[in-house]
A and B are shown apart, each in its own frame.
Chain A
Amino acid sequence: MLAFIIRRVAQMVPTLFGVMLLLFVLFNWVGGDPSYILAGKNLSPEALANIRHQLGLDLSLPQQFVIFVKQVLTLDFGTSWSTQQPVTSILHSRIGPSLLLTGSILLLGTVLAVVIAALVAYLRGSLTDRLVTLISTCAMSVSGLVYIIAGQYWLAHKAGLFPIMGWSDRIAENLLYYLPLPLLLGVVVGLAPDIRFYRSCFVEEMNHDYVRTARAKGLSEPVIMLKHVLRNAMIPVVTSLMMSLPYLMMGAMLLETFFSIPGMGKEVVMAVDRSDFPVIKAITIYIALATMLFNLLADIVYKLIDPRVELS
């Protein structure tokens, strides 16, 4: 197992290098000269030259890349171009709200989706199944934007059940007051595609031969479903769950923007709006690292729950 982990960590290095290369090409080459953005109203040649020197843009491209690599390795991305705060401290304060929001959406959403999907798969072919599938397809087609806009308007503005937007420093207040509406909307948006996916995992398992053997042994349908099929179907379900963990850090971008939740997602949107390159670069690197680590974790969990996979 240890050898496997070491090998996978070694594989991460070229990938991280690739991400850095991609970001560098995007922001230092395609992105062009940002000195005009930072200069603001003062466009004198000396000011521009000064800014370029500060950012290291007067160096050659390869030299700039080396500086970037150093930044990534020390996790020090300089200061934000719009707020002049150190990027790292900005990000560290944003991770918390994002985790709270997406973590709770993931938890609640997955539990609901798995339960409904298992029920629907058990009843497959029946009217209930077809109805739920149809409703899910229609529900999926409505853009998430519409759910959020409508939800915010009717439930918060008109009905006054929830606050329209906001966030606080205290976890308790967040959990009870500010979180429920974005949580509800996030779960609703993600429910339909999840139900469809999990249902297909279950149905696929139910078509395997070992289900026929279980019936031939005289087991009843509920027992077959709960004991045999579920255990096998959990493998793709858990794997897919682990693969969506990296998105925890990203935060639900739209939800954060609408509800003014100070998370990573909102930070990215604001940074793109203001062309704040250091923040965008830093967030991307962080998320890429998290994705790679979570993928490794997903593989380990997968090997633990599926006995067919050999640890090689």
Chain B
Amino acid sequence: MKTDTGLESDIVTPQPPPPLLSVRNLRVSFHDEHGHCVPALKGISFDIPAGRTVALVGESGSGKSVTAMAITRLLPAHGCQIDAGSEILFAGRNLLTASRRELRQLRGADIAMVFQDPMTSLNPVYTVGEQIIETLMLHTRVGRKAAYQRAVALLKEVGLPTPDLKMSSYPHQLSGGQQQRVMIAMAIACEPKLLIADEPTTALDVTIQQQILQLLASLQKKHGMAVLFISHDLELVGQFADEVVVMHHGTIREHAPVRQIFEAPQDVYTKALLCCRPHLSRRPARLPVIKDFLGEASYCEPPQRQRGYLPDDEVILEVQNLSVEYHSRHGWFGKKHCCQAVQDVSFKLMRGRTLGIVGESGSGKTTLGMTLMRLQAASAGRVLFAGHDMLAMSPRQLGDYKRRIQIVFQNPYASLNPRFSVAQILTEPMLLHGIGRDRAERLQLAGNWLERVGLSHQALGKYPHEFSGGQRQRIAIARCLTMHPDILICDESVSALDVSVQAQVLNLLQELQDELGLSYLFISHDLAVVKHLSDQVLVMQHGRCVEQGDADTLYAKPQHPYTRQLLEAIPQSWPHNFKPQVA
């Protein structure tokens, strides 16, 4: 090591300080109801240096949450087994062999946790202040009054307005973002050395996500604590992590400093994760999926796809001044509540094109989709489908039009009847609309559609719970296709899916549009996905349409401040991201 004078010294190079947390060969398995052993973690090892942020990234089932729970020994006592050869060393002590008393002293004081859903993680019957004071009085020797003052200071530090008033609020009286701030305040109350945040922003809106992340980053710098940040979103963690650990099916695929992960990833899975997500800056004709990276040849990106309405497009759906109101009433003599979900929205959808509808929760975008399907009653406006006003038709007249506009819902676990076999699910619409002469022909058609969406026709005899989320979404798409619709409404259809699966489903939707000439209404809160798929985009806020226009133009030059706010909230960490070669 060179000293300032430039002379080499024969002082022994000092070792880097020992890591704060060291996970060695962690193996965890669960017992399912049949008694089989299902491995969740297959021997992972990584270190967390003191004062640094390490991000643990993986899709669902990768074992990232299990790792976090294993560190704090919060895994369930029954049905869970940690291998004897595993070690978790915290400041020299092995947490896996520590006594319960030692663990209790560590938890909250040295290692603190922030969970994903703040609404259920806070005790609903105690005030926010009471819960913070409890932590303080447990681990530090302060009296009640001092704890109260400290709690107020903490609430102020995490950015809650009027902290004294908030002290006596109950959790349900705060918004999601505020609740998460309270959780963070509780976690840093005793100045922990390590903060474990398990998907802290997943349940929050995009704009709130950014705020919470910035709060965590500033707190980390200020208190000098180490942070283990768990997420499924690689782009998100790129903004403030120092090191990234990529996990897949219980193993670590890659562990490197953040710059290297983004600019020169070594592992194919990491490359796939980086590329599978739609980007704002480019729009390949087909999104890459993990399979593309696992092959021998290196992946080449297909050429960019152009989007936008063309002048000679035919209008297939025209919505004019649509408004939807909700009424609710409490009991027999209660007050009536009126809520304006959608106000005066108008747009046009061209045949064979995609209109994207973007907004946060409460913007009315889902209500809009429901109303177009006549699943929800409109209070004003017209919906012209091939020239005819759908809202004015009686249910009998509506018959044929109902078939021609179909919807794919968000939750793949709830949109298929769990008691029906796939054959029943797919043949029912054909039965109701008189497609197919008899049962045998209907089964034949159902099998064909299954093959078309990428599943084997063996799936006909199975039940929904035997499939993964992405597969269920394909079955839902196949169900819509059996009726030969003209318009498909995708209501957050890919939001609940992992990144790689999402790419597959988006590719499928694009192929179907190219082949069958379907028109899509794509509703989502994810701006990058919307930009990838849409020709035109409509931005909604509080039930109103605040901006509408060509996708490329809107994203490049947003006019409305809300649109700008949404675009700024998208994680854009590294300008020199790894990109696949262009064909």
A307 and B105 in contact, given A7-B331, A209-B115 (Cβ under 8 angstroms):
no
List residues of B (157-190) whose CB comes within 8 Å of A's CBs.
Answer: 170, 172, 183, 186
Chain A residue with Cβ nearest B183:
A213
Interface stretch among B117-125, B258-266, B339-347, B535-543? Answer: B117-125
- Would you call B390 an interface residue if the criterion is a C-beta within 8 Å of the partner chain's C-beta atoms? no
Say whether B121 contacts A217, CB under 8 Å: no
CB distance from B69 to the nearest CB of A (A): 9
Say whether B108 contacts A218, CB under 8 Å: yes
In which size bucket is the chain B interface?
35 or more
Which residues of chain A are within 8 angstroms of B134 by Cβ–Cβ distance?
217, 219
Say whether B124 contacts A307, CB under 8 Å: yes
- Would you call A212 an interface residue if the criterion is a C-beta within 8 Å of the partner chain's C-beta atoms? yes
- Would you call A306 an interface residue if the criterion is a C-beta within 8 Å of the partner chain's C-beta atoms? yes
Per-position contact with A for B311-351: 1 when CB-CB < 8 Å, else 0?
00000000000000000001111110000000000000000
- Would you call B135 an interface residue if the criterion is a C-beta within 8 Å of the partner chain's C-beta atoms? yes
Say whether A218 contacts B107, CB under 8 Å: yes
- Would you call B109 an interface residue if the criterion is a C-beta within 8 Å of the partner chain's C-beta atoms? yes
Say whether B139 contacts A208, CB under 8 Å: no
Per-position contact with B for A207-224: 1 when CB-CB < 8 Å, else 0?
011101111111110000
Which residues of chain B are within 8 angstroms of A214 by Cβ–Cβ distance?
123
CB distance from A210 to the nearest CB of B (A): 4
Which residues of chain A are within 8 angstroms of B139 by Cβ–Cβ distance?
218
Say whether A217 contacts B333, CB under 8 Å: no
List residues of A (98-125) whose CB comes within 8 Å of B's CBs.
Answer: 125
Say whether A210 contacts B121, CB under 8 Å: yes
Considering the chains assembled together, what is the distance between the CA atoms of A308 and B172 in angstroms?
7
Considering the chains assembled together, what is the distance between the CA atoms of A201 and B183 in angstroms?
26
Considering the chains assembled together, what is the distance between the CA atoms of A208 and B125 in angstroms?
13
CB distance from A281 to the nearest CB of B (A): 26
List residues of A (224-280) whose CB comes within 8 Å of B's CBs.
Answer: 228, 231-232, 235
Which residues of chain A are within 8 angstroms of B104 by Cβ–Cβ distance?
218-220
- The number of chain A residues with a CB under 8 A from chain B is 25
- Would you call B268 an interface residue if the criterion is a C-beta within 8 Å of the partner chain's C-beta atoms? no
Say whether B186 contacts A232, CB under 8 Å: no
Say whether A208 contacts B331, CB under 8 Å: no
- Would you call A85 an interface residue if the criterion is a C-beta within 8 Å of the partner chain's C-beta atoms? no
Which residues of chain B are within 8 angstroms of A306 by Cβ–Cβ distance?
125
CB distance from B332 to the nearest CB of A (A): 6
**Per a CB cutoff under 8 Å, which of B109, B123, B170, B335 touches A218?**
B109
- Would you call B74 an interface residue if the criterion is a C-beta within 8 Å of the partner chain's C-beta atoms? yes
CB distance from B537 to the nearest CB of A (A): 37
A217 and B108 in contact, given A307-B125, A308-B172, A312-B330 (Cβ under 8 angstroms):
yes
**Per a CB cutoff under 8 Å, which of A125, A209, A216, A312 touches B120?**
A209
Per-position contact with B for A1-34: 1 when CB-CB < 8 Å, else 0?
0000001001100100000000000000000000
Say whether B186 contacts A212, CB under 8 Å: no
Per-position contact with B for A145-176: 1 when CB-CB < 8 Å, else 0?
00000000000000000000000000000000
Say whether B121 contacts A212, CB under 8 Å: yes
Say whether B120 contacts A208, CB under 8 Å: yes
Say whether B333 contacts A228, CB under 8 Å: no
CB distance from A240 to the nearest CB of B (A): 17
CB distance from A209 to the nearest CB of B (A): 4
A213 and B115 in contact, given A218-B104, A218-B108 (Cβ under 8 angstroms):
yes
Considering the chains assembled together, what is the distance between the CA atoms of A216 and B217 in angstroms?
22
Say whether B122 contacts A210, CB under 8 Å: yes
Say whether A218 contacts B105, CB under 8 Å: yes
Say whether A7 contacts B108, CB under 8 Å: no
- Would you call B126 an interface residue if the criterion is a C-beta within 8 Å of the partner chain's C-beta atoms? yes
Considering the chains assembled together, what is the distance between the CA atoms of A253 and B557 in angstroms?
79
**Per a CB cutoff under 8 Å, which of A212, A217, A312 touches B135?**
A217
Considering the chains assembled together, what is the distance between the CA atoms of A216 and B103 in angstroms?
10
Considering the chains assembled together, what is the distance between the CA atoms of A213 and B134 in angstroms?
12
Considering the chains assembled together, what is the distance between the CA atoms of A230 and B72 in angstroms?
24
Say whether A217 contacts B138, CB under 8 Å: yes
CB distance from B490 to the nearest CB of A (A): 31
Which residues of chain A are within 8 angstroms of B124 by Cβ–Cβ distance?
210, 232, 307-308
Best-buried of A213, A220, A235 by chain B (most CB within 10 Å):
A213
Say whether A216 contacts B333, CB under 8 Å: no
Best-buried of B106, B108, B123 by chain A (most CB within 10 Å):
B123
Say whether B107 contacts A217, CB under 8 Å: yes
Best-buried of B78, B186, B331 by chain A (most CB within 10 Å):
B331
CB distance from A208 to the nearest CB of B (A): 7
Say whether A307 contacts B123, CB under 8 Å: no
- Would you call B554 an interface residue if the criterion is a C-beta within 8 Å of the partner chain's C-beta atoms? no
Considering the chains assembled together, what is the distance between the CA atoms of A248 and B65 in angstroms?
51
Considering the chains assembled together, what is the distance between the CA atoms of A220 and B183 in angstroms?
19
Considering the chains assembled together, what is the distance between the CA atoms of A225 and B244 in angstroms?
38
Say whether B170 contacts A307, CB under 8 Å: yes
Say whether A210 contacts B123, CB under 8 Å: yes
- Would you call B112 an interface residue if the criterion is a C-beta within 8 Å of the partner chain's C-beta atoms? yes
Which residues of chain A are within 8 angstroms of B170 by Cβ–Cβ distance?
307-308
Considering the chains assembled together, what is the distance between the CA atoms of A213 and B108 in angstroms?
10
- Would you call B478 an interface residue if the criterion is a C-beta within 8 Å of the partner chain's C-beta atoms? no
Which residues of chain A are within 8 angstroms of B183 by Cβ–Cβ distance?
213
List residues of B (179-216) whose CB comes within 8 Å of A's CBs.
Answer: 183, 186
Say whether B74 contacts A216, CB under 8 Å: yes
CB distance from B91 to the nearest CB of A (A): 16
Chain A residue with Cβ nearest B116:
A209
Say whether A218 contacts B138, CB under 8 Å: yes
Considering the chains assembled together, what is the distance between the CA atoms of A210 and B115 in angstroms?
10
Per-position contact with B for A42-58: 1 when CB-CB < 8 Å, else 0?
00000000000000000
List residues of B (126-148) whose CB comes within 8 Å of A's CBs.
Answer: 126, 134-135, 138-139
Best-buried of A214, A216, A228 by chain B (most CB within 10 Å):
A216
- CB<8 Å pairs between A and B, sample of 13: A7-B331, A7-B333, A11-B332, A11-B333, A209-B115, A213-B115, A213-B121, A214-B123, A218-B138, A231-B123, A232-B124, A235-B125, A306-B125
Known: A125-B78, A213-B123, A218-B135. 15 other contacts (CB 8 A): A11-B332, A210-B121, A210-B123, A213-B121, A214-B123, A216-B112, A217-B134, A218-B103, A218-B108, A219-B134, A231-B123, A232-B125, A307-B124, A308-B170, A312-B330
Residues on B lying within 8 angstroms of A by beta carbon are 72, 74, 78, 103-109, 112-113, 115, 117, 120-126, 134-135, 138-139, 170, 172, 183, 186, 330-335
Closest 6 CB pairs of A and B: A218-B108, A218-B107, A209-B120, A217-B108, A210-B123, A216-B113
